[in-house]
Amino acid sequence: MILYTPLSETDIFPADEKAMAKRAFLSHQGRTCYTEKQDDGSYLVLQLLSTDPNDFLDGSFLPGTIINKP
């Protein structure tokens, strides 16, 4: 089945509450990212939220990138 929708996958098929509790919006280098907190305290980038197309060309915001925040 193919769903043609502007919604993200997590909006349609939500993960369990434990997994969702680890997810947060994080500001990094002036850009907003949707992240998932890892066990070691770092954050895994899931999605970049930006209206500037040049932000998506920056490799430090690719999904799967690890962000270390204090």
Q: Give residue-wise pLDDT tens across range 1-58.
A: 788 888 877 778 877 888 788 899 999 999 999 999 999 999 999 999 999 999 999 9
SS3 at position 64: coil
Best CA proximity match to 33, nearest among 20, 41, 45, 19: 45
Alpha helices per DSSP H over 1-70: 9-12, 17-21
pTM beyond cutoff 0.95: no
pLDDT of the residue at 70: 67
pLDDT of the residue at 29: 92
pLDDT of the residue at 33: 95
